[in-house]
Amino acid sequence: MLKYIAKRLFQMFPTVVGVVLVTFLLFNVVGGDLAATALGKNVSLQMMEDFDAQRGLDKPLFFGYRAGTRAFEDLDASVGRGRWQAWSNATHSAETGTVAIGPQTEILLPAFALDPGRDYEWTVVYRGKAILAGEALDSGRWSRAKIRFGGGRDVFLQTGEEPFELRRLSLRKVVANPFDSQLSFYVRQLLRGDLGTSEYFKQPVARLLADGIVPSLKLTVPIFFIGIVVSVSLSLVCAFFRDTWLDRFFVVLSVALMSINYLVYIVAGQYLLSYKLGWFPVWGYESWRFLVLPVAIGVVSGLGANLRFYRTIMLDEMYKDYVRTAFAKGVSKPRVLFVHVLKNAMIPIITNVVIAIPFLYTGSLLLESFFGVPGLGYLGINAILSSDIDVVRALVLIGALLFVVANLLTDLCYAAADPRVKLG
Amino acid sequence: METEKGQSLWGDAWRRLKKNRLAMACLGMVVFFTLLALYGEGVHQYWKWKDATPPFQLADLGKAYTAPGLHHWMGTDGLGRDVMSRLVQGARIAYKVGIVTSLIAIPIGVFFGCIAGYFGGRTDDFVVWLYSTFASMPGLLFILAIAMLVGKGLLGIYLGIGLTTWVGLCRLVRGEVIKHKEQTYVQAAKALGLGPARIIFLHILPNIMHVVIVTFTLRFPAAVGTEVFMSFLGIGVQDEPSWGLMINNARMRLWQGMWWEMTFVTLAVFLLVLAFNLLGDALRDALDPRLND
Amino acid sequence: MTSNDNILAVEDLGVHFGSGDGLVKAVDEVSFTVRRGETVALVGESGSGKSISALSLTKLAPRAARYAGGRILFEGRDMLALSDAELRRIRGSRISYIFQEPMASLNPVFTIQWQIEEAIRLHQRGVDRKREVARLLGLVHLPERLARAYPHEMSGGQLQRCMIAMALACSPDLLVADEPTTALDVTVQREILNLLAELGRNVGLSILMITHNFGIVADLADRVYVMQKGRIVEEGETRQVLYDPRAEYTRQLMAAVPRLHPRTEEEQ
């Protein structure tokens, strides 16, 4: 058994890597400018730079010697990109694709003070004479230069009497260790057990998750267990009365329950049962009474799909040869169902049940926000609505990792429940 | 029991389906909603062409909260807009979401499933790794995260749903291709020297098309449900009358006794999803020869 | 011999499926008898209704089946008229079954010990079940240690022996063997047939053998009934039917070389 567990743990590894990689790609690559998403429009570049630095977003993506900085937006005169409008004495010509800077001009280039602790590098394509970051540029023809300098002092572009034209100008951070990338930052952060800091709450995400898990479990654990008991019992009823009106009724019921949108359960339940009939409190998280309705809605909304699934399993088993053998031995129908069939059906049922465990953690996104249960679902919805990126990423990541673990548990349960599974 | 031999799988399936009265009723419902969505698209395009705000978007506070009656069969909402025309537009959005997400998810799922099943080995390992990774992602939360990062609106919905739902299909197609790979007609095609792309897409794929169709029928309502959910939360459709937005609006009014908008919208969602679910089940039964007896 | 020796007498039994245009008479006015200590074979190709007839003896036919007339007299009592509880007391204790696929017929998640014990527990009180299981396994020439095994840990031949041991648990009067060797290797088939012949001789068991294989008939059966499309087309002493078959169908069946006969699933 130990050997089997070790083997499965080993097989789990690629999926874990995949999960980490997918969350990384989703947020750091697909996500685009996370600082802009998270902070909104009206923030200074300095704040965005700090946001990036805190999350390692100011590093190269996978590998590299240079990394971007928000201190200077790349200038590309051929397409008119850059902030040359803000410079004094600068004129852009679309025909030639150049920015010309008048004589005796001094322009402060970076938008904010550069980090004195590190090196930066200008890349410039120019013609004429000027001084950039203390280095003299002088060329009659278009030429390209790289100027490396330390941060910690103001960086100017100064022209003398002679004309100076620019085609391109860009500023990069020099990265000492090319492996010090966003990916390695993310991985190291995870290995430390650091889930980041919520921009919205200004708190470590781990704290928020720890606070939310208990209310979530109070809601999801009852839903989970009541749901299993109800749907498995009903599926046994279906199997017992198969091909009768009762069975058909449950089949139709389960499809109908499945087809009702989750929202409708919540809205209708809250309106009819809480507001109209006053059976339950409408909103809040004070005593167990506040949980009754959300739990009931959680159970009912999951019932359709589960009942259908379990019924199919039970009926599949009912048609197997060993059932005929049991009947031929003189076993009664209830005993065939509850002993012979159920023990066999337990195998797929366990699989279905264990795989649902991550849901306990993620919480019910909507139920919690609608009934005011301060759990992880509530946190998650709010984080998505307020673009609290670190919280969303942590929830997705942990949800996925729990699923991987649940998968492992499923296999172990499977091995324990089914004598046919060979270990090793 | 014996069945008459049909000309083809599809002919057989259609005969079986025709006998299932519930399935035919669902098919009728699906056709009805499809026509509704097409009509909605027509109206939408008309107003776009006229470059005017369509009436179902125009607020007319004088007519707000009209109960269902002769002029407005399904009443009006809080801004005096006709619920029925908004409902039709909602059907249009729902179909758009169902179709576009399928157009994203099905090709991905079929392509990866086919190459994994056919080539096996490293390719298979890679695809299995890819879909186990995606299968591990916590469903709705992952979709919402994608939508959050891509930005509010239909694009977020399309990508969120489309990029997460190919996994199940991929798994099914892979299994089917593995089964078909060993069959004589594939071996014969190989012996003729046909290339793998030709064998997979011209010979095997038509034979497993029923898996794709059943998956589409069952995935469609799920996508619609997710869209309603996302729009309801405010990260989906922004300024078009989506069912989710309508439910969100109607929720507040419901407490003041305006029952009609909520009732008709939820009924529409329910009927569409139910029809697709039942039809999908019936199709699966009709197309799966293993269940014949 | 007189009819009082009949342990089983089936008279004009009809078992139908479906209705209207889809009506299928799987068993159509079938009559046959089994005497005490006798081995009777019911022969026919798949779909001839022989398995349904056998299952109908204790009303085990699939749910869709309708019993449409006739009587099944087991020791003088009409099985079709018995209540469920009375039928359960007979199943497994007076009439036992063994089936075609031993691997599928045994419950995969219980040990052999458990499954045989269950058969004993259902019908007998005050028996030392452990010793009884050991005795039964001995009867079918299986080592006692196999009692602790699960079905998947055993071979097809061993499993069919377990089925037989389970069937014999309460010393039944009639053993119905539904294609007991069809799913087994040729060499194992021989062993199982020998075992059945031996039990027929030593225990005085009546056996109703359902088969499509005339080789088995020749080896084992005292009398034979040939079924085609739900009806009995020929009956008689085994020798007489083998040497002088009257029905054309019987001749065709015998001409079909059994070993090359494709293994077919019994129709439901």
Q: Quick one: pLDDT at residue C259? A: 45
Confidence of residue C208 (pLDDT cuts 50, 70, 90): very high
**Inter-chain residue contact A344 with C108, CB threshold 8 Å:** yes
Q: pLDDT at position B291, please?
A: 43
Q: What is the pLDDT of residues A201-248, one digit of tens each?
A: 888 888 888 888 888 888 888 888 999 999 999 999 888 888 788 888
What's the DSSP call for residue B76?
A: B
Inter-chain residue contact A325 with C88, CB threshold 8 Å: no
Q: Is the dihedral of CA C17, C23, C25, C26 positive or negative?
A: negative
Are the Cβ atoms of C109 and A328 closer than 8 angstroms? no
Q: CA–CA separation, A368 vs A285, rounded Å?
A: 10
* Residue B292 binned pLDDT confidence (cut-offs 50, 70, 90): very low
In 10 A of CB C130, how many CB atoms? 12
**Cα C125 to Cα A20, C119, C128, C169, C173, distances in angstroms:** 62, 11, 9, 13, 19
* Chain B residues inside the 8 Å CB shell of A27: 149
Residue B78 scores a pLDDT above 90: no
- What is the value of pTM for the model shown? 0.80
**Closest CA of chain C from A224, distance in Å:** 26
Show me where the domains of chain B are located.
12-45+74-291
| Helix (H) / strand (E) containing A424 | none
Q: How far is the C-alpha of A301 from the C-alpha of A370, rounded, in Å?
A: 15
Span B213-229, pLDDT tens digits: 888 888 888 898 888 88
Q: How far is residue B16's CA from residue B22's CA, in Å, rounded to a whole number?
A: 12
Spatial contact of A302 and A356, defined as CB atoms under 8 Å apart: no
pLDDT value of residue B240:
83
pLDDT at position B153? 82
Nearest Cα to A161, choosing from A129, A137, A126, A132?
A129
DSSP state of A63: S
What pLDDT does A422 receive? 67
Q: Using the beta-carbon criterion (under 8 Å), do A259 and B254 form an inter-chain contact? A: no
Distance from CA of B63 to the nearest CA of A (A): 25
Average pLDDT over residues B187-212: 85
Which of B255, B32, B264, B212 minimizes the C-alpha distance to B105?
B212
What is the predicted pLDDT for the residue at A362?
66
- Whether B1 has its CB under 8 Å from any CB of chain C: the answer is yes
Under 8 Å between Cβ of B92 and B40: yes
Establish, for the pair of chains A and B, how many residue pairs have beta carbons separated by less than 8 Å.
Answer: 118
Summarised one tens digit per residue, pLDDT across range B34-67 is 999 999 898 888 888 888 888 777 777 777 777 7
Q: Give the model's pLDDT for residue C22.
A: 76
Confidence (pLDDT) at B293: 34
Chain B interface, Cβ < 8 Å to A = 129-130, 132-138, 140-142, 144-150, 221, 225, 228-229, 232-235, 244, 247, 251, 254-255, 262, 266, 269-270, 273-274, 277-278, 281
- For A81, which DSSP code? B
A408 and A12 Cβ atoms separated by less than 8 Å: yes
By C-alpha distance, which of B7, B6, B10, B18 is closest to B207? B10
Cα–Cα distance between B159 and B272 in angstroms, integer?
A: 22
DSSP letters, A181-193, are: -HHHHHHHHHHTT
Phi, psi of C6 (to 5 degrees): -65, 120
What is the arithmetic mean of pLDDT over A357-379? Answer: 80
Contact call for residues A38 and A387 (beta carbons, < 8 A): yes
Residue pairs spanning A and C at CB distance below 8 A: 73
Give the number of B-C residue pairs with CB atoms closer than 8 Å. 5
Dist. CA A390–CA A198, nearest whole Å:
6
Structural domains in chain A plus CATH codes: 68-174 (2.60.120.260), 205-417 (1.10.3720.10)
> What does the pLDDT look like over A154-196, one tens digit per residue?
777 777 777 778 888 888 888 888 888 888 888 888 888 888 8
What does DSSP assign to residue A204? E
pLDDT at residue C6 greater than cutoff 50: yes
Residue whose C-alpha is closest to residue C89's, from C63, C43, C50, C124: C124
Residues of B in contact with C24 (CB under 8 A): 1
Interface contact flag, A320 C104, Cβ < 8 Å:
yes
Paired residues of A119 in beta bridges: A150
Sign, Cα dihedral of A57, A60, A65, A69: negative
In this structure, of B1-5, B232-236, C137-141, C220-224, the range with the lowest mean pLDDT score is B1-5
Name chain A contacts of C104, Cβ cutoff 8 Å: 320-322
CA separation for the pair C52, C65 (Å, rounded)? 9
Give backbone dihedrals phi and psi of A34, rounded to 5 degrees, phi first: -65, -35
Give C79→chain A minimum CA distance, Å: 14
Measured CA to CA, the distance from residue C239 to residue C127 in angstroms comes to 42
Max mean pLDDT among A44-53, A108-117, A276-285, B94-103 falls in B94-103
CATH architecture entry for B12-45+74-291: Orthogonal Bundle (1.10)
Average pLDDT of span A260-269? 83
Residue C1 pLDDT level (bands cut at 50, 70, 90): very low
Which residue in C55, C84, C97, C105 has the most chain A C-beta atoms within 10 A of its own C-beta, making it the best mutation to test that interface?
Answer: C105
Does position A379 have pLDDT exceeding 80, yes or no?
yes
As given in the structure block, the two tokens for residue A91 are 């004129």
pLDDT tens digits for range C153-195:
888 888 988 998 898 888 888 999 988 888 788 888 888 888 8
pLDDT of A116 strictly over 90: no
Among B149, B247, B281, whose Cβ lies nearest the Cβ of A30?
B149
Chain B residue with the nearest C-alpha to that of C24: B1
Query: Structure tokens of A255?
Result: 């499809």
Which chains reach chain C with 3 or more Cβ–Cβ distances below 8 angstroms?
A: A, B
CB atoms within 10 A of CB A149: 17
Radius of gyration of chain C (CA): 18
> Mean pLDDT in chain C?
84
Q: What span, in angstroms and rounded, lies between the C-alpha atoms of A64 and A177?
A: 8
Q: Residue B184 pLDDT more than 70?
A: yes
pLDDT band at C266 (very low <50, low <70, confident <90, very high): very low
Which chain A residue has the Cα nearest residue C61? A324
B274/A259 Cβ within 8 A: yes
- A258: pLDDT confidence band, cut at 50, 70 and 90? confident
| Assigned token pair, C226 | 């040939």
pLDDT digits (tens, 9 = 90+) for B149-168: 888 788 888 988 988 889 98
Helix runs in A269-388, H state only = 289-318, 321-329, 333-335, 342-355, 357-362, 365-371, 376-385
Pair type for strands A119-132 and C66-67 = unpaired
A135: enclosing H helix or E strand: strand A135-150
Interface residue B4 vs chain C (CB under 8 A): no
Q: Taking residues B253-268, what's their average pLDDT? A: 83
**A326 band by pLDDT with thresholds 50, 70 and 90:** very high
pLDDT at A226: 92
Burial class (CB in 10 A: 0-12, 13-18, 19+), C87: middle
The pLDDT of residue A284 is 72
Partner-chain contact C109 A330, CB within 8 Å: no
Of B285, B175, B280, B150, nearest in space to B221 by CA: B280
Residue with tokens 């005993």: A335
Identify the sign of the CA torsion B187, B190, B194, B196. positive
First to last CA, chain C: 35
**Residue A76 confidence (pLDDT) above 90:** no
Q: Rounded to whole angstroms, how far apart are CA atoms C117 and C130?
A: 8
CB contact under 8 A, A18 and B129: yes
Q: Strands C24-35 and C6-17, how do they pair?
A: antiparallel
**Residue B64: Cβ within 10 Å count:** 15
**Averaged over B79-87, what is the pLDDT?**
83
Cβ within 8 Å of residue A324, ≥6 positions away: C55, C60, C99, C105
Residue C117, pLDDT > 70, answer yes
Cβ distance A215 to A375 under 8 Å?
A: yes
Q: Rounded to whole angstroms, how far apart are CA atoms B235 and B143?
A: 11
pLDDT-derived band at B2, boundaries 50, 70, 90? very low
In angstroms, rounded to a whole number, what is the distance separating the alpha carbons of residues C174 and C209?
A: 10
Q: Which two tokens stand for residue A42?
A: 């009206």
Q: What gap in Å lies between CA A119 and CA A171, rounded to an integer?
A: 11
What sign does the dihedral A215-A221-A223-A226 (CA atoms) show? negative
Residue A423: the pLDDT is 61
Average pLDDT, chain B: 84
ipTM here: 0.87
Calpha distance B200→B115 (Å, rounded): 8
Least confidently predicted of A117-121, A133-137, C240-244:
A133-137
Query: Which residues 197-226 of chain B have a CB within 8 Å of chain C?
Result: none
Q: How many CB atoms lie within 10 A of CB A313?
A: 22
Confidence band (pLDDT; 50, 70, 90) for A363?
low
The secondary structure of chain C as a DSSP string is --GGGEEEEEEEEEEEES-GGG-EEEEEEEEEEEETT-EEEEE--TTSSHHHHHHHTTT-S-TT-EE-S-EEEETTEEGGGS-HHHHHHHBTTTEEEE-S-HHHHS-TTS-HHHHHHHHHHHH-SS--HHHHHHHHHHHTT--GGGGG--GGGS-HHHHHHHHHHHHTTT--SEEEEESTTTTS-HHHHHHHHHHHHHHHHHH--EEEEEES-HHHHHHH-SEEEEEETTEEEEEEEHHHHHHS--SHHHHHHHHS-GGGSPP-PPP-
Give me the percent of chain B exceeding a pLDDT of 70: 95
Nearest CA-CA distance, residue A321 and chain C, Å? 5
The contacts of residue B88 (CB under 8 Å, 6+ apart) are B36, B37, B39, B40, B43
